[in-house]
Amino acid sequence: MFTQDGLVAKEGDNLADGTTLNEINDSAGVAINTYGFEVAFHGKVDKTDAVFVGQVPVVVGDEPSGE
């Protein structure tokens, strides 16, 4: 799955908890927060449906200001 800033996740990626992202549900949509630095999407680990939240790749000059 991509945003305008680059790759966020792809099927087969290893997740932080040691599981593997088996599927990204392309009909479920994607949510990107107001600041554009976090993304949420639906997918599966093994046969379990899940919602994933992750960081969007930051392009130099687009870092959050903290305001």
Tens of pLDDT, residues 25-65 = 988 888 888 776 788 999 999 999 999 888 776 555 555 55
Q: pLDDT band at 21, cuts 50/70/90?
A: very high
Q: What is the mean pLDDT of residues 4-9?
A: 78
Question: At CB < 8 A and 24+ separation, what contacts does 12-17 make?
Answer: 15/45
The domain segmentation of the chain, as residue ranges, is: 2-55
What global pTM score does this model have? 0.70
C-alpha closest to that of 2 among 44, 39, 48, 52:
39
